[in-house]
Structure 1
């Protein structure tokens, strides 16, 4: 490794250029500060400053005693929707059931008015602001500000960009939601896995992540993807007490299943927390293609989010906002949402009962349409055995943050009672063969 430079800026520019040209490969460890300083005849602080700038720019990661390593390039990202077009029975895609979603024709009925909105219009329509007040008032302080984004992931990405710098640490549930993990990594931030159990984030793991310098936290209060777990009352209280000791941490609560939830919302945002956002997407209830999320936050966070939106898309389409208002207030559509809530709960119970019948271990849950089956072995032989029997299931490995997660994620949104029985029998047979 031939690094040249007489000051911190030259060292930074030289290393960054060599990385761009492929002369220094992703994953390669840079020379120790003392060693490079001696080689070039420079002060150690000069080299240390150059390395610090590489970390801040997202070119490298500081790994303590393991040195400074060039950041791995982003490979093809695992995404939701995996297997949606497969000829196999889909238990892998993470999608809601199409039969429980309103049709575009139903939602378009909410679009009214003879003219489109122009530049300078209020980013949040008054009708949707009123809906936000109804959606959030029980769970947020009186001085809450409201915003709208192009989906939950859009809000999370904009907030991370507004408050954090490349290389900053972000706490994420481990196993966790694919899109959140992908967003953190592609933004040049460092995901830090926070262990999850059937009651939600594990307090000791959360405390460790925050003590180690996590500057932001993404948390799912219920219907966690991929495990389906929801916060218990006691666990939510523990998390709130921990977060109260870290008031500067950017806290993003992704309550994605709120429209269809059976379990109550458990608040974890401490009173007076400085940077927080409660995000409620309409994707699970009205459809992923609508790409709209409602955001409640403190006023400073709302202003940062507004600035990030104003510099690019400027506002979320008022046509979409009208469709969301209609989807959340129309009597017929709200009744359809309640029917979907009941149907998902029934499908969950049917699958859990079928798994219990065959003594298959799973994480019990009250919400969502994903169920987690932990494994004590590699997932690939299990996936292959299920595929041979006509089932497509998602390996838990892709949901791991710090290391691959050992388990299966089962999306049961479109699974009937007879199918649940057949799948559980097939899974029991495959697990027995692979033992």
Structure 2
């Protein structure tokens, strides 16, 4: 028989279908709806011999789980029928244990809400003096103008979901097996078609290898290419660190308003050169046509490889499209792209368009199975590209980012006309020139305004020469639309007054 409950009293049991519990190993696992201990969850309890028989053993196990914090306040317990069945106990035994723990204050029970750990049943203080705690990272600033990420609120959720549904419906059965290190053939063909049309890349799908983003590609290439690698004197230190970790030595190519000075390459002994030809990062501007030609001449004459980071190649505002260097010589250039800026870094999808002589080496290094890039997300991206949704999204974001860039330029013209703004013809960031020796103080002043922004010196190679000087790298892609005005105001407040 079920234990009787007096009228008006809450039953210490959950409703139908609330959850399951097992006597097996494992902590509490969240069930349907994402609530710990909610419907469909499992509960690990170890019953030990002792006074009170099986009911006493169950009560001790539940108290211990609450006392140690394994069952947090508010956690919903499985219905007593379910727990009884899984632990091999009588239903009355579990119901009586629940009722007694409710009476003791360990649990609470409300009609329709089930049985839960009481809020006041948190683990007691050990009595030992507590050490002052410090956060592992600073508090998130109020405003964010750090470069490198798109507006996360603008992700095309509806269109992406439609592509995901179509891709899942059409996916062959083998797509749910071990992943191919080359990447899904659907994505490689879609990427080849898009790059040929939009970026002037000569892309054979057989030479495309899917990766989990630019960093993943650089890790692989750093192990495949043997020798010193030339990099631009300003760029992401993270990328240089990846090459160093792969055992590669880097040296800096000076940059100016026309991009990297590639005349430094002949006779340097470099095996490869990592460049951002479409939009030099972070100073801005495309690589001059004459330097593009000289770059290819060097690669052909000395057997070098160009690693082309197509940074911001799709976001241009005041200039004609600049095609990829890879189109000049697919046998000497590795074209690397991703959706981190155009869609979201959360997707972790990118690609390498490789010269034929590097394909097998990269695949051997990746191994027999794809370890990082999800096959289902690859299929979704393939549909997103083939359906035209990607083009529509890029055009929409190009308009949005151009408006933000224009608002940035207008705000500076009104409130800080003495500050020079460069690198604004394309991309998701601008460079603000600062008086010599003021960069660090301006970054600190921005922090006082609750603004996260980075100084230009952060991107400088340790051996860089001919440096551009002090400046700020202002990313206008990150803030959501409603927060952009506040970020601009904080930036203007942090800038130094006219000389």
TM-score when normalising by structure 1: 0.69
CA distance in 2, matches of 1:208, 1:234: 14
1:363 has 2:422 as partner: yes
Give how far 1:201 is off. Answer: 1.3
2:148 counterpart (82, 85, 94): 94
**Which consecutive unaligned segments of at least 5 residues does structure 1 have?**
1-82
CA distance in 2, matches of 1:211, 1:180: 24
Q: Are the aligned partners of 2:141 and 2:451 in contact in 1 as well (CA < 8 Å)?
A: no
Give the 3-state SS of the residue equivalent to 2:168 in structure 1: coil
CA distance in 1, matches of 2:181, 2:243: 30
Shift of the 142–225 alpha-carbon distance from structure 1 to 2, 3 Å rule, reads closer
RMSD: 3.1
Shift of the 330–151 alpha-carbon distance from structure 1 to 2, 3 Å rule, reads same
- Residue of structure 2 in register with 1:303 after alignment: 360
- Residue of structure 1 in register with 2:210 after alignment: 148
Shift of the 178–349 alpha-carbon distance from structure 1 to 2, 3 Å rule, reads farther
**Which consecutive unaligned segments of at least 5 residues does structure 2 have?**
1-136
Give how far 1:89 is off. Answer: 0.9
Q: Are the aligned partners of 2:195 and 2:203 in contact in 1 as well (CA < 8 Å)?
A: no
Shift of the 272–412 alpha-carbon distance from structure 1 to 2, 3 Å rule, reads closer
CA distance in 2, matches of 1:234, 1:378: 35
Q: Are the aligned partners of 1:240 and 1:269 in contact in 2 as well (CA < 8 Å)?
A: no
Give how far 1:183 is off. Answer: 0.9
Give how far 1:321 is off. Answer: 0.8
2:304 counterpart (238, 249, 259): 249
CA distance in 2, matches of 1:140, 1:336: 21
Q: How many residues align?
A: 343
Q: Are the aligned partners of 2:450 and 2:490 in contact in 1 as well (CA < 8 Å)?
A: no
CA distance in 1, matches of 2:180, 2:203: 25
Give how far 1:307 is off. Answer: 1.6
CA distance in 1, matches of 2:196, 2:443: 44
Any idea what the Cα deviations from partners look like across 1:317-343, whole Å, max 9, x if unmatched?
321211211332334554233211111
Shift of the 210–402 alpha-carbon distance from structure 1 to 2, 3 Å rule, reads farther
* Structural mapping, 1:29-428, within 5 Å: 86-103=140-157, 105=161, 108-109=164-165, 110-112=167-169, 113=171, 115=173, 116-119=175-178, 121=180, 123-137=182-196, 139-141=200-202, 145-164=207-226, 168-202=227-261, 206-246=262-302, 248-262=303-317, 263-269=320-326, 274-310=331-367, 313=370, 316-332=373-389, 334-357=391-414, 358-375=417-434, 376-403=436-463, 406-414=470-478, 418-419=485-486, 422-423=489-490, 425-428=492-495
CA distance in 2, matches of 1:239, 1:230: 14
Give how far 1:96 is off. Answer: 0.8
Give the 3-state SS of the residue equivalent to 1:133 in structure 2: helix
Moved more, 134-143 or 408-417: 134-143
Give how far 1:369 is off. Answer: 0.8
Q: Are the aligned partners of 2:178 and 2:369 in contact in 1 as well (CA < 8 Å)?
A: no
| Bigger-Rg structure (1/2) | 2
TM-score when normalising by structure 2: 0.61
- Residue of structure 1 in register with 2:110 after alignment: none
CA distance in 2, matches of 1:222, 1:275: 17
Q: Are the aligned partners of 1:84 and 1:93 in contact in 2 as well (CA < 8 Å)?
A: no
Give how far 1:378 is off. Answer: 4.4
Q: Are the aligned partners of 2:265 and 2:298 in contact in 1 as well (CA < 8 Å)?
A: no
